[in-house]
Amino acid sequence: MDKKARNAKKKGIIKSLWPYLYGSKRYFILGTIFMLTAVIASYVKPYVISFTVDYAIGGREIEDAPNFLMNWIESLGGREYLIEHLILCAAALLLCQLCYALSVHLRGRCIGTASENMAKTLRDNLYSHLQRVPYDYHKHVSTGDLIQRCTSDVETIRRFIVNQLMEVLRTVAMIIFAATIMFSMNVKMAIASTVMMPILAIISFVYFKNVKKQFQSADEAEGKLSATIQENLTGVRVVRAFGQQSAEMEKFTHDNADFKEKNYKLLKMLALYWGCTDCLGYLQIAISLFTGIYFATTQPEVFSIGNLLLFTTYTSMLTWPVRQLGRVLADLGKMSVSVERLNEIFDQEKEKEPGKALKPQIRGEIEFKDVCFGYDTYDDVLKKISFKVKPGSTIAILGSTGSGKSSLVQLLQRLYQCTSGSITIDGVDINDIESGHLRRNIGIVLQEPFLYSRNIMENIRITRPDASDEEVYEAAKVASLHDVVMSFENGYDTIVGERGVTLSGGQKQRVAIARMLMQNAPILIFDDSLSAVDTETDAAIRDALSLRKKDSTMFIISHRITTLSTADCILVLDDGKLIASGTHEELLAKDGLYKRIAHIQNQLEDELIEEGGM
C-alpha cells in the first residue's frame, strides 16, 4: 500500500465512526461539558486548600486571587471572619467534591449511553451489510473471523469511546488549566513541575507506534482461533466419525499457542511502558516536591507553603493523565485496527441490481442461450449451455461431479452472474428482474440443507411465518415428513439442534423440501436433495409434488436414473458442456453417458434383487 493509500485509510478511520453517532451526538456534547466541569472542580480544590493555608492561617496577602473572591470575603468581615469560620473553607471543599462527583457521574451516564447506542447501530449496520454482500463473498471468508469482527472488534471500539475518548479531552483540558494556573503563579516552579511531561509524551507516541502492529497481530490471531473453534464445533460429528479429535486438538493447540505468544509479546510491551512511565512519573513528583521545598525555604516571601501544596498536588494530578496518554494511544491503536477490520467488511460492495429491477409475474418459462460461466476463468465451469423449458415442465439434470450442475441452477437464482450468454424467464432477462423478487419465485433445496436450531414447525414456517399449522402439515405430507414428525415425542415442537444434527440426513432433506414448498414458488429446484432418502420415499415425494405443483417448473439434479426417468426433459452435462438432452427413452436409445450410467445402475439393482432372493 503506497503512502497516499495509507493516508486515505487513516482519514477513513477518523471519519468512519461519525455516521454511527446518529442520535448520540448530544450525549457526547453533554458528556464533554460535564467532563470540563469535573476538571474545573478538581483543580479548584487544591486552590481552596492553598488559599486557606496562606491567607486564613498564614496571614499572607494573595495577589493573584480572583477579585470577586476577595470582595466577597471583605464583605463578610475579612481574614478575621474567615479564621473564625474556617468551616466555610471546609464547605467550599465539600462543594467542589460534590460538584466533581456529580459531574463524573453525569459524564459517565452520557458517554455510556452514547457508546452503547453507537455499538448497537454499528452491529445493526454490520449485520445488514453482510446480508447484502454478494453470495461469493461468504464463500471466501471465515465465519469465525466474521463473528469475531462483529463482536470483539465492535466491543473494542465501544470500550475506547466509553473509557478513553473522554480521557483524551480530559488530559488536554487538565494540561491547559494546570499550565495556565501554574505559569501565572511562578514560572520557574511551573517549569520544574512539568519538565518530564514532554519526555512522557514522546515515550507515549513511540510506544503507540510500535504497539499498534502488535495489537493487529494479536487481533488476527484471535480471529483465527475463533474460526478454528467455530469450525470444530460445527463439524463435531464429522470429527467424531473419523476419529480426528487428536488432529483437531493439535490444530487448536497450535492456534491457541500462537494467540498466547502474540498476547504475551503485547503484555511485555505494556509492562515495559508502565514500568518506565511509573519511574518518570514519580521522578517528576520528586522534582516538583524538592524544588517547591527549596523555594519555600529560601524564598518564603515569593513562594509560600500554600504554593508548595498547590504545585505538588497539581503535578500529581497532571503527571498521571499524561502517563495515561500512552494507554489511551495504545487503545486508540487497537481501536483503529478494529475499525480497519470492520471497514474491510463495509468496503465490500453490496449486491447491485445489474438491470432494470423489474417485478414481472413469473410463470416458469426459462431459456438458457449460449451461457458460459467461470469462477476463475471465462468458461471453466459452464460452456455454451443452451436449452428451453416450458412452464410446468420437469427438467432433470445428470452429470459427473464437477460437471457444473449446481452452478447452472445457481445462475438461475443469480447467485452468480454468467460471464456470457443470457438467461431469460418468461422472456425477461434475469438481470432485469429484481433480485428479491427473483429468489422469492425460485425455491431451492440443497443436498446439505441448513436447518436452524429451532423446532421443526419453526424451520418449515420460516419462509412464511404467518402460515397456519394446517398449511405446514400439508407441506410436510407432500415431503413425506408428517408421519415421521408425528412419531416423535414432541411432534412438530421437536428441537432439531444446530444445523439439524438431531435429524437423519433424509429427515433434514424432507424438512428442507417442506420449507421450500411453503414458499409457493413457480420454479422449484431440487439440487440432489433426495439423495439421502430411499427409493420408495423418493418416488412418493415426486408423485406428491407432481400432484400439488402441476403448474410449477421443476429442476431435479440427481444421480439416480429412477429419479430422473419421469422428467419431461433430461439434460446431461459433462465437463461443463451440455452433451445430450431428451426424454428417458430417447437417451436410452442412443449411446452415451446417460445410457452407461443407466446400465450400471440397472445391473446393481438386479444384483441386489438376486442377493435378496437367495
At the fourth CATH level, which superfamily is domain 366-589?
P-loop containing nucleotide triphosphate hydrolases (3.40.50.300)
* Out of 466-475, 487-496, 596-605, least confident range: 596-605
pLDDT at 325: 72
- Cell, residue 449: 440443507
In the chain, where does the domain assigned CATH 3.40.50.300 lie? 366-589
Q: Return the sign of the alpha-carbon dihedral for residues 131, 133, 137, 139.
A: positive
Q: What is the pLDDT of residue 607?
A: 63
Helix (H) or strand (E) holding 418: none
The residue whose grid cell reads 414447525 is 457
Q: What is the pLDDT of residue 164?
A: 76
CB 366 within 8 Å of CB 413: no
Strands of 358-419, DSSP E: 366-373, 382-389, 394-399
Give the integer Cα–Cα distance in Å for 28 and 46: 28
> Which is nearest to 45 in space by CA: 333, 279, 309?
309
Q: At what angle do helices 197-234 and 245-298 cross, to 10 degrees?
A: 160
Dihedral of alpha carbons 291, 294, 297, 302, sign: negative
Residue 37's CB is within 10 A of a number of other CB atoms, namely 17
Residue 9 has pLDDT above 50, yes or no: no
Q: How far is CA 423 from CA 385, 386, 389, 426, 429, in A?
A: 10, 9, 11, 10, 6
At 59, the pLDDT band (50, 70, 90 cuts) reads low
Average pLDDT over residues 441-452: 83
Question: How far is CA 388 from its chain centroid?
Answer: 43
Residues carrying CATH 1.20.1560.10, the chain: 18-346
**pLDDT attached to residue 8:** 39
Instruction: Say if CB 495 and CB 454 are below 8 A apart.
Output: yes
Look at residue 11 and tell me whether its pLDDT is greater than 70: no
Task: Look at residues 285, 264, 159, 270 and name the one whose alpha carbon lies nearest to residue 204.
Answer: 270
Q: How far apart are the first and last CA of the chain?
A: 73
Asked if the model's pLDDT at residue 62 lies above 70, the reply is no
Residue 424 pLDDT > 90, yes or no?
yes
pLDDT at 5: 38
* Contact between residue 513 and residue 431 where contact means Cβ atoms under 8 Å apart: no
pLDDT of 134 > 80? The answer is yes
In the predicted structure, residue 6 carries a pLDDT above the cut 50: no
pLDDT for the residue numbered 328: 76
Write down the residue that cell numbers 448530544 correspond to: 26
Contact partners, residue 530, CB within 8 Å, separation at least 6:
509, 538, 541, 542, 556, 558, 560, 563
H or E stretch including 92?
helix 87-132
Q: What pLDDT band is residue 227 in, cutting at 50, 70 and 90?
A: confident
pLDDT digits (tens, 9 = 90+) for 84-121: 777 888 888 899 889 999 998 998 888 888 888 888 88
* pLDDT bucket at 69, cuts 50 / 70 / 90: confident
- Residue 343 — very low, low, confident or very high, per pLDDT cuts 50/70/90? confident
Distance CA 576, CA 591 (A): 19
pLDDT at position 2 over 60: no
Reported as a pLDDT band with limits 50, 70 and 90, residue 7 is: very low
**Within 13 Å, how many C-alpha atoms sit on residue 224's CB side?**
17
CA 576 to chain centroid, in Å, comes to 37
- Assess whether pLDDT exceeds 90 at residue 26: no
Q: Residue 527 belongs to what H/E stretch?
A: strand 523-527
- Strand, helix or coil for residue 271: helix
- Can you list the positions of beta strands (E) in 165-269? none
Say if CB 548 and CB 518 are below 8 A apart: no
DSSP codes, 194-224? HTTHHHHHHHHHHHHHHHHHHHHHHHHHHHH
The pLDDT, as a whole number, for residue 507 is 85
Share of the chain above pLDDT 90, in %: 10
pLDDT value at 63 more than 80: no
Fill in the amino acid letter for 110: C
Residue 273 has pLDDT above 50, yes or no: yes
More confident residue, 56 or 578: 578
Give dist(CA 253, CA 225) in Å, integer.
9
The rounded distance, in Å, linking the Cα atoms of 170 and 593 is 77
CB 423 within 8 A of CB 412: yes
Count of CB atoms situated within 10 Å of the CB of 403: 22
Looking at the predicted structure, is the pLDDT value of residue 33 above 60?
yes
For residue 262, pLDDT beyond 60: yes
**Of 1.10.10.10, 1.20.1560.10, 3.30.310.50, 1.25.40.80, which CATH number belongs to 18-346?**
1.20.1560.10
pLDDT band (50, 70, 90) for residue 532:
low
> How are beta strands 442-445 and 569-574 bridged, if at all?
unpaired
The average confidence (pLDDT) of the chain is 82
Give the model confidence (pLDDT) of 155-178 as tens digits.
Answer: 888 888 877 777 777 878 888 887
Q: What is d(CA 140, CA 228) in angstroms, rounded to the nearest whole number?
A: 15
Query: Percentage of residues in the chain with pLDDT exceeding 70?
Result: 90
pLDDT, tens digit (0-9, with 9 covering 90-100), for 351-402 = 888 888 899 999 889 999 999 998 766 667 899 999 999 998 999 999 888 8
Residue type, 559: H
Query: Sheet containing 420-425: which strands, arranged edge to edge?
Result: 382-389, 366-373, 420-425, 428-429
In this prediction the pTM is 0.67
At residue 428 the predicted structure's pLDDT band, cuts being 50, 70 and 90, is very high
Q: Which has the minimum average pLDDT: 2-6, 186-190, 504-508?
A: 2-6
